[in-house]
Amino acid sequence: MNRYLPLKKGDKISIITPAGAITAMQAEQVQKNVAELDLIPVFSDSLMHKFGYFSGTIQQRLEELYEAFENPETKLILCARGGFGTTTLLKSIDYERIAKNPKPIVGMSDITALLLTLHARANVPAYHGIVGISEFTSYTKTGFRSVLMSEAHNININSYQFNSEIALYQSFTIVSGKANGKLIGGNLSLLTSLLGTPFDTDWAGKIVFIEDVNEAPYAIDRMLTQLFNAGKFENVAAVIFGVFAGCEPRDEQSFTLPEVLTRLFSGFGVPVVYGFSFGHIVNQAIFPIDAQADFDTVTFSLSIKDSI
């Protein structure tokens, strides 16, 4: 594992809101969730701030971010929720300041942009999977402990097997095979929003994981097509789609999401699957950004050779 981990029972972790605000009830949920991991949450004084749909002004959110990285008592940073807002911070972050104390950070959804950029520009260990208000199921807590609280150098991440009749929760393979590469990815909307900016990331040779929520199939089609047109899928090692909850057709003329993905990726030269257990769902896997991994479509599992 990386030199900042593993966490131990009783360790303190910083809770921040770099995007959307949280309510008092959600703050209580975060406290409960963190306690179930045998960790101690440290909330900033600005946690309950609100500024429209943000959790604060850009400067307020930056100060909260710096405070979390520079707090010598906390071992990890957990983002309380997503929403919208991290892309508004990217041009203003002092990456050299953060690089002096690059402790691990965990998040998902809108936090995708922050995870990828902090890792690339400040060598921050970044983990995609949960936010503080997520539902911490047994699967999620086991995965968190395996990735972030274990001294093991090799970790197997098996997808949760959903017992659901909902089509979007049913996994399937588009292109079978095995792959090896470093992990990169996150929320589709955020990955698309980084295109054409200095904060876009290189996917060549990597296992790309992608999720989104509450988007119509045509919108998923449009964003994936934009990524194809931008050359993002050229020379990737594999593509792993999470569970796209709420992405059902909005009308009878629409393709379904499985039809969209099959049309776009059939005949693709590397493994492609849908339905790995990450995204805006319960039972979320934790993926270390840039960790070397093996993926097998038969076992539907990732083997993390080492963390970042």
Question: 259 catalytic, yes or no?
Answer: no
Q: Do β-strands 292-296 and 178-187 pair in parallel, antiparallel, or remain unpaired?
A: antiparallel
Separation of alpha carbons 281 and 279, rounded Å: 5
According to DSSP, residue 292 is labeled E
Please identify which of the residues 211, 215, 277, 307 carries the catalytic annotation: 211
Question: 211 catalytic, yes or no?
Answer: yes
Separation of alpha carbons 98 and 275, rounded Å: 35
Separation of alpha carbons 150 and 134, rounded Å: 21
Please identify which of the residues 44, 55, 109, 307 carries the catalytic annotation: 109
Question: 280 catalytic, yes or no?
Answer: yes
The closest of 174, 282, 283, 182 to 236, measured between CA atoms, is 182
Separation of alpha carbons 237 and 183, rounded Å: 10
Please identify which of the residues 55, 119, 277, 280 carries the catalytic annotation: 280
Place of tokens 């999470």: 242
Stretch (H or E) spanning 190? helix 188-193
- Helix 217-229 to helix 257-265 angle (10° resolution) is 20
Catalytic positions, written as ranges: 109, 211, 280
